[in-house]
């Protein structure tokens, strides 16, 4: 990432430039003195400007008024990122915002910020830890109220406090181990051992509350996916289009029409899901279709809600595998066609489990069907998020790694292992927590987080 170590003056619009709005926020960060910008405002910036106070002023270029703006100065180190920051609320027409940005850029006083560069400086100046930045990223890109809450909780709320408390308990235990190694003679062996046991128990009890929030499930609740699966011609693309209220996927009686998966957003009760139409699963000699089928299988494994569509009039040997994927909902299509009832009865006789998994026959796509599907999806989602599982995979992985290391440490601690080994084990555990809190931040982690950020944040 090219901006990681630069500290020149940056500018960006921090609101969206995707359409006109009432107000646009432009921020300039990293300048030495506010008076560098004195020629741009009718307000006297060379005089005393009170930090954090909003001033109404005119933005001017060579005496000509460009816009009326609200100006706020955040003085270092009491700003979002610890630098001097000038924040302007300007009229939110994108043309106006771009004109103002160009005006500042043309003077050479600043350059355009990279994605996340303001926030990176907050990390550099120790205003935010890496895990807080991840919380911010989650907050800004959340697709559900649950993810919004978790982002905020990680940015400056209970989840961040939990991480900090855990790290604090860890450090207390680390100190007690050092006490046992170096000062048992001073405090007495028994007192040192008691302190060691108590601090370890406090730490591991607290750790368990965090561990409970890591689900050993493979699917992603950050961008929850609903996948439509079935043999070719079972009606997947028809249902996909119906749920999206548009002709997005090609519907055709020719088996193998959908050769890759297609995904679109579907909002149900304020939660943004990804609806995925897959290639019908069948043996194919067509290389492209075969690749599509294999990619579809990957999506199926990741998705949190699987809807299996079955046309009892067109069956194939692969249906067995699809039933074994444990779909959340089964829909029988083509009920309007002759022979449906007997074919369905034969199928249910072959697979009795079809009778038990909320299987419904579909006469035609209708709003009641749509709400039936949507209510099943949303109730599963709500149930899964009810115990607030952690969303960020980096955090989940580190907590699971810490769990393995803690188990090994507890085992050594109970066996009166050599203190040098204990100390080594504890350091490995500590490393997991430093990474979790973002005290130690490998550069590839930094890169992957900040590349996700929008410009202006």
Ligand X SMILES: Nc1nc2c(ncn2[C@@H]2O[C@H](COP(=O)(O)OP(=O)(O)O)[C@@H](O)[C@H]2O)c(=O)[nH]1
For ligand X, the closer of residues 27 and 344 by Cβ is 344
Identify the three-state secondary structure at position 328.
coil
What does the block give as tokens for 94?
A: 């994108």
- Starting at the edge strand that comes first in sequence, how are the strands of the sheet with 359-361 ordered? 262-268, 271-277, 225-230, 305-310, 329-332, 359-361
To Mg ion, the closest distance from the beta carbon of 362 in angstroms equals 15
Choices 117-125, 126-134, 250-258, 423-431 (CB under 6 A): range interacting with ligand X: 250-258
Q: If contact means CB under 5 to 8 A according to the sort of partner, which of ligand X, Mg ion, none does residue 333 touch?
A: ligand X
To Mg ion, the closest distance from the beta carbon of 232 in angstroms equals 7
Q: If contact means CB under 5 to 8 A according to the sort of partner, which of Mg ion, ligand X, none does residue 452 touch?
A: none
Q: If contact means CB under 5 to 8 A according to the sort of partner, which of Mg ion, ligand X, none does residue 362 touch?
A: ligand X
Q: How many helices (H) and strands (E) does the chain have?
A: 16, 12
Cα first-last separation, the chain: 16
Indicate whether 230 belongs to the interface with ligand X (CB under 6 A): yes
Q: Is the peptide bond before 77 cis (omega within 30 degrees of 0)?
A: yes
Q: Which of residues 354-413 bind ligand X (CB under 6 A)?
A: 362
Choices 189-197, 209-217, 333-341, 370-378 (CB under 6 A): range interacting with ligand X: 333-341
Indicate whether 278 belongs to the interface with ligand X (CB under 6 A): no
30 and 84 in contact (C-beta within 8 Å)? yes
For ligand X, the closer of residues 75 and 257 by Cβ is 257
For ligand X, the closer of residues 50 and 286 by Cβ is 286
Catalogue the E-assigned strands of 93-224. Answer: 111-112
To ligand X, the closest distance from the beta carbon of 279 in angstroms equals 8
Indicate whether 258 belongs to the interface with Mg ion (CB under 5 A): yes
- Starting at the edge strand that comes first in sequence, how are the strands of the sheet with 23-29 ordered? 54-61, 64-74, 85-91, 23-29, 10-13, 111-112
Please tell me the distance from the alpha carbon of residue 327 to that of residue 320, in angstroms, as a whole number: 12
Please tell me the distance from the alpha carbon of residue 352 to that of residue 4, in angstroms, as a whole number: 60
For ligand X, the closer of residues 197 and 290 by Cβ is 290
Identify the three-state secondary structure at position 76.
coil
Indicate whether 236 belongs to the interface with ligand X (CB under 6 A): yes
Q: If contact means CB under 5 to 8 A according to the sort of partner, which of Mg ion, ligand X, none does residue 35 touch?
A: none
Indicate whether 296 belongs to the interface with ligand X (CB under 6 A): no
Q: Which of residues 125-164 bind Mg ion (CB under 5 A)?
A: none
Query: Could you tell me which of 370, 143, 359, 329 has the C-alpha nearest to residue 243?
Result: 370
For ligand X, the closer of residues 57 and 241 by Cβ is 241
How many chain residues interact with ligand X (CB under 6 A)?
19
Of residues 237, 296, 311, 333, which one binds Mg ion by CB under 5 A? Answer: 237
Of residues 47, 253, 317, 338, which one binds ligand X by CB under 6 A? Answer: 253
What does the block give as tokens for 242?
A: 């119906």
Angle at 99 between CA 93 and CA 102, to 5 degrees: 140
**β-strands 23-29, 85-91: how paired?**
antiparallel
Indicate whether 15 belongs to the interface with Mg ion (CB under 5 A): no
Residue 265: CB atoms within 10 A of its CB come to: 11
Residue ranges in contact with Mg ion by CB under 5 A: 236-237, 258
Residue ranges in contact with ligand X by CB under 6 A: 230, 232-238, 251-253, 257-258, 280, 333-334, 336-337, 362
């Amino acid at each position: 990432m090219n901006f990681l170590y630069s500290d020149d003056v940056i500018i960006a619009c921090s609101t969206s430039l995707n359409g006109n709005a009432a107000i646009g926020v432009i921020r300039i960060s990293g300048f030495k003195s506010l008076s560098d910008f004195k020629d741009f405002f009718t307000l006297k910036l060379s005089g005393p400007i009170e930090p954090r106070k909003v001033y109404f002023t005119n933005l001017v270029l060579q005496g000509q008024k460009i816009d009326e703006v609200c100006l706020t100065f955040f003085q270092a180190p009491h700003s979002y990122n610890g630098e001097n920051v000038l924040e302007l609320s300007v009229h939110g027409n994108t043309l106006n915002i771009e004109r103002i940005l160009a005006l500042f850029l043309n003077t050479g006083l600043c350059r355009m910020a990279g994605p996340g560069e303001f926030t990176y400086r907050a990390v550099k100046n120790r205003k935010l830890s890496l895990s807080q930045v991840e919380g911010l990223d989650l907050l800004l890109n959340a697709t559900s109220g649950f993810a919004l809450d978790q982002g905020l909780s990680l940015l400056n709320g209970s989840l961040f406090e939990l991480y900090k408390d855990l790290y604090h308990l860890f450090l207390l235990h680390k100190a007690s181990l050092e006490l046992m190694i170096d000062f048992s003679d001073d405090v007495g062996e028994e007192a040192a051992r008691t302190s060691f046991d108590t601090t370890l128990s406090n730490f591991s009890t607290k750790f368990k509350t965090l561990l409970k929030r890591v689900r050993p499930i493979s699917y992603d609740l950050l961008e929850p996916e609903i996948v439509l699966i079935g043999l070719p011609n079972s009606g997947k693309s028809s249902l996909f289009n119906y749920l999206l209220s548009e002709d997005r996927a090609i519907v055709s009686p020719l088996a193998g029409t959908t050769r890759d998966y297609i995904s679109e957003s579907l909002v149900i009760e304020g939660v943004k899901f990804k609806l995925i139409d897959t290639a019908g699963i069948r043996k194919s000699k067509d290389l492209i279709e075969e690749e599509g089928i294999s990619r579809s299988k990957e999506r199926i494994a990741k998705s949190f809600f699987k809807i299996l569509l079955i046309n009892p009039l067109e069956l194939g040997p692969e249906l067995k595998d699809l039933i074994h994927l444990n779909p959340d909902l089964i829909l029988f299509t083509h009920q309007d066609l002759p022979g449906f009832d007997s074919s369905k009865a034969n199928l249910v006789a072959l697979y009795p489990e079809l009778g038990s998994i909320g299987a419904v026959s579909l006469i035609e796509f209708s709003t009641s069907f749509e709400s039936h599907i949507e209510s099943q999806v949303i109730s599963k989602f709500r149930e899964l998020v009810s115990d607030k599982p952690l969303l960020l995979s980096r955090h989940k992985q580190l907590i699971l790694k810490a769990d393995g290391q803690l188990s090994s440490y507890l085992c050594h601690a109970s066996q009166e292992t050599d203190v040098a080994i204990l100390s080594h084990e504890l350091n490995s555990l500590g490393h997991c927590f430093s990474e979790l809190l973002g005290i130690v931040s490998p550069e590839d982690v930094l890169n992957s987080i900040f590349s996700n950020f929008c410009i202006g944040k």
